[in-house]
Amino acid sequence: MRRFVAILGVVAILAFAAGPVLAKGDHQRPFKGTMWGNDVTFNTVIPAGRCVEMAGTADAIASFSGSGYATHLGWVHILAEHCSDFDTGTYGDGRLTITAANGDILKSTYTHGMMTAPPPLSGFQDDFTFVDGGTGRFTFASGGGTEVGTYNFGTNEFWVHMEGVISYGKS
């Protein structure tokens, strides 16, 4: 009987200690972010296998960098790139890296992009998904949402607002 109680006690201690590890990233929290910048380039040389979602219709890879503010991160720097189809105004296969002031990195992908207004001041909307591969508390991030914004083809300035949910835990 003593042995059973001792084993039960050890199991209870291990379960209690493992609790935070098992719970890591399982709590969804609201996420909002607003970013802007004007460092935009279009590269018409597309590496093989890069724009798979676009099924061969991509004309260029658009790259963006900027700054802003996001919940759970504070002041941020962003780097993004996606495949663009100039004829249809669609884009996809997007990759976004958000770096917090403390150095933690949050990664996401974005898809189903559509320009919602014609140039020169174009609106856009797409869906984003947080993915594994970040650092610090965002190593195993998950969640996602929608982002909307504007891009000015005349000045290369962009503005984007992200809204959705995020789950993450401390590493």
- What is the maximum alpha-carbon separation in the chain? 80
**Looking at domain 27-167, does it have CATH number 2.40.350?**
yes
pTM of the model: 0.82
For tokens 């993004």, the residue is 80
Q: What confidence tens digit (pLDDT) does each residue in 103-121 have?
A: 999 999 999 999 999 889 9
Taking 70 as the threshold, does the pLDDT of residue 22 lie above it? no
Rounded to whole angstroms, the Cα distance separating 94 from 124 reads 13
Domain boundaries, the chain: 27-167
Rounded Cα–Cα distance for residues 87 and 23 (Å)? 46
Structure tokens, 92: 């996809």
Q: So what's the pLDDT on residue 18?
A: 35
- As a whole number, mean pLDDT of residues 77-86 equals 96
Q: What is the pLDDT of residue 7?
A: 35
Does the bond joining 120 to the residue before it have cis omega, within 30 degrees of 0? yes
pLDDT score of 106: 98
